[in-house]
């Protein structure tokens, strides 16, 4: 059954009365949801809770979005969308349609997908065929057995040579020497004949096996070629609009990005779907929000009902095009909040400096030219010959940063970090009450390639990450903890705090893995190490002011 425009635009009730419209469109990669967005999301969540037929799929988790819009008559409403597909379909009343419905029956995607699936089945049939499996196993057994026989023959040649050497030492004899030489030559020739015969046997099996493997390889090449061509054709169907009325397909949008080609799933996230619908129907986008519904994925951190920024890998380039022509909020990360804040020097001697970085200041220069600790130190110590900064803190983290005044000291301090000889203590406030008093968290971490700088837990791809923790106090529904990281992975403490297999309590104010607040309550409070120049144990402390 077809859907009409009114199936997709939803009106607010009296609860929206008196709520001011946002002055600019939401900056999608770091935002606080506008009150109208929260109101719209609540209505969508109530709708989802009533869809018992979707309960099992929704429990596994999915990203949804809302877009507050204004129509040509000034009427206020909102759109809703889901990322990917839902219940095996891209189209459901209540949610805007996809930019391009790749699941439409009889469409080129479904037709070609069926052809590629047929190739997959043929590959599986060939790889599992009794003849191929038998030949492959026999070939592997033969290689193993032949290798064993040749190794035994080489050992025998070695023993025979040793025997002849003993005879030469015990009874030197010219006539016998000729006999021993001929014996050696014969044995070596016998080994060569054995090696040649075994190799010929292997080649016969290998040739028979190649008939099957060549066909499998040909089918895999065809599958790869057809899949790539299908992806390009598919991406060409996603013709994304913007507020200026300009259109670009996904191939054009990603052409000038580092990845060059669109990633899988590009154009199917909630926000691009809603913006496309708004532009097609002359609706003015006012504010957006995307929230997670259901259980968290195993490797990522997503909490039921929480809002999340748009992913940068798939949506960053797309939204860069689609938001052109809209007045968009500024990027909060580009706010130079500490340009006039004095840098607090906690410790200094002839070799090293320890500064206390405020939350919201970069450790080192970024592409936006914001004030940072390294530039401050260079200005303060113009005669310093080293790179100065030895390690970094996240922009949102406050606390102690260690710097060196010369290159040699920088290298020696870095060596201490690499050998985990510098002990660090962080203080954090966590959402909720942590039940255990202390413990150890060991969750391997790696970057999320589709949404940097977000990290994810991965036993397969992650690097070891270990954190010790101790609860300091519990108060007003929050927990103060000390973290002692034994490794130094990106966002280690933030992920270990928030992940369900870690403490399952995000750091207060962590906009990536929990709830945004006035700041992120994570502070590097203490550094302890043996001073490379004096050989004395040194501990530098600046406790958190929270």
C-alpha 394/C-alpha 306 separation (Å) is 22
Helices within 17-129 (DSSP H only): 35-50, 55-60, 108-128
- What is the full DSSP assignment across 176-204? HHHHHHHHHHHHHHHHHHHHHHHHHHHHH
C-alpha 8/C-alpha 503 separation (Å) is 40
C-alpha 54/C-alpha 57 separation (Å) is 6
| Helix axis angle, 270-280 to 312-322, nearest 10° | 20
Q: What does the block give as tokens for 397?
A: 């983290």
User: Is residue 150 within 8 Å of residue 195, measured between CB atoms?
Assistant: yes
> Three-state SS string across 101-170, please?
CCCCCCCHHHHHHHHHHHHHHHHHHHHHCHHHHHHHHHHHHHHHHHHHHHHHHHHHHHHHHHHHHHHHHH
| Residues whose CB is less than 8 angstroms from the CB of residue 152 and which lie 6 or more positions away in sequence, other chains included | none
C-alpha 391/C-alpha 410 separation (Å) is 10
Find where tokens 């066909």 sit. 215
* Other beta carbons less than 10 A from residue 155's beta carbon: 10
C-alpha 489/C-alpha 487 separation (Å) is 6
* Other beta carbons less than 10 A from residue 56's beta carbon: 10
Peptide bond preceding 453 in cis form (omega within 30 of 0):
yes
CA proximity to 453, closest of 418, 489, 424, 428: 489
| Residues whose CB is less than 8 angstroms from the CB of residue 163 and which lie 6 or more positions away in sequence, other chains included | none
User: Phi/psi of residue 464, each to 5°?
Assistant: -55, 140
Q: Active-site residue numbers?
A: 394
Find where tokens 């008559």 sit. 73
User: Is residue 142 within 8 Å of residue 205, measured between CB atoms?
Assistant: yes
Taking CA atoms, 200 is separated from 12, 18, 194, 196, 304, in Å, by 80, 88, 10, 6, 64
User: Phi/psi of residue 383, each to 5°?
Assistant: -90, 0
User: Is residue 219 within 8 Å of residue 227, measured between CB atoms?
Assistant: no
| Residues whose CB is less than 8 angstroms from the CB of residue 406 and which lie 6 or more positions away in sequence, other chains included | 351, 384, 385, 386
């Amino acid at each position: 059954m077809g859907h009409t425009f009114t199936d997709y635009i939803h009106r607010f009730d009296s609860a929206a009365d008196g709520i001011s419209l946002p002055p600019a469109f939401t900056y999608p990669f770091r935002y606080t949801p506008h009150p109208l967005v929260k109101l719209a999301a609540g209505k969508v969540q109530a709708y989802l809770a009533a869809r018992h037929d979707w309960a099992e799929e929704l429990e596994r988790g999915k990203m949804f979005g809302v877009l507050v819009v204004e129509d040509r008559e000034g009427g206020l409403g909102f759109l809703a969308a889901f990322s990917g597909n839902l219940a095996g379909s891209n189209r459901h009343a209540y949610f805007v349609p996809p930019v391009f419905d790749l699941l439409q029956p009889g469409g080129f995607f479904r037709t070609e997908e069926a052809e590629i699936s047929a190739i997959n089945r043929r590959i599986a049939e060939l790889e599992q065929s009794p003849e191929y499996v038998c030949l492959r196993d026999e070939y592997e057994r033969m290689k193993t057995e032949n290798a064993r026989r040749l190794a035994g023959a080489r050992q025998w040649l070695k023993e025979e040579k040793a025997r002849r050497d003993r005879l030469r030492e015990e009874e030197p004899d010219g006539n016998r020497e000729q006999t021993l030489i001929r014996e050696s030559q014969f044995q070596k020739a016998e080994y060569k004949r054995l090696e040649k015969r075994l190799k010929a046997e292997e080649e016969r099996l290998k040739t028979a096996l190649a008939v099957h493997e060549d066909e499998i390889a040909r089918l895999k090449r065809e599958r790869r070629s057809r899949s790539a061509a299908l992806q390009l054709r598919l991406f060409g169907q996603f013709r994304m609009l913007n507020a200026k009325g300009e259109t670009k397909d996904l191939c054009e949008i990603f052409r000038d990005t580092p990845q060059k080609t669109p990633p899988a799933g590009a154009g199917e996230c909630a926000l691009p779907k809603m913006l496309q619908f708004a532009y097609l129907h002359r609706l003015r986008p006012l504010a957006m929000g995307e929230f997670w519904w259901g259980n968290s994925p195993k490797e990522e951190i997503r909490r039921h009902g929480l809002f999340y920024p748009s992913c940068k890998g798939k949506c960053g380039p797309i939204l860069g095009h689609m938001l052109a022509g809209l007045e968009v909020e500024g990027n909060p990360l580009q706010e130079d909040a500490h340009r006039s804040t004095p840098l607090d020097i906690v410790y200094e001697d002839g070799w090293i400096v320890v500064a206390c970085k405020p939350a919201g200041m970069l450790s080192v220069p970024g592409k936006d030219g914001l004030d940072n600790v390294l530039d401050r130190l260079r200005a303060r110590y113009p005669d310093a010959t080293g790179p100065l900064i030895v390690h970094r803190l996240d922009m949102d983290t406050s606390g102690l940063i260690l710097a060196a005044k010369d290159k040699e000291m920088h290298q020696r301090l870095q060596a201490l970090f690499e050998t985990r000889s510098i002990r660090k203590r962080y203080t954090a406030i966590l959402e909720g009450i942590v039940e255990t008093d202390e413990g150890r968290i060991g969750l391997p971490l790696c970057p999320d390639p589709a949404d940097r700088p977000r990290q994810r837990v991965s036993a397969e791809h992650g690097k070891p990450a270990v954190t010790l923790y101790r609860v300091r106090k519990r108060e007003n529904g929050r927990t103060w903890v000390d973290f002692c990281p034994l490794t130094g992975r990106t966002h280690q403490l933030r992920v270990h705090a928030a992940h369900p297999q870690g403490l399952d309590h995000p750091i207060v104010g962590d906009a990536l893995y929990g709830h945004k607040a006035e700041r992120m309550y994570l502070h590097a409070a203490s550094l302890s190490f043996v001073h490379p120049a004096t050989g004395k144990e040194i501990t530098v402390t600046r406790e958190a002011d929270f």
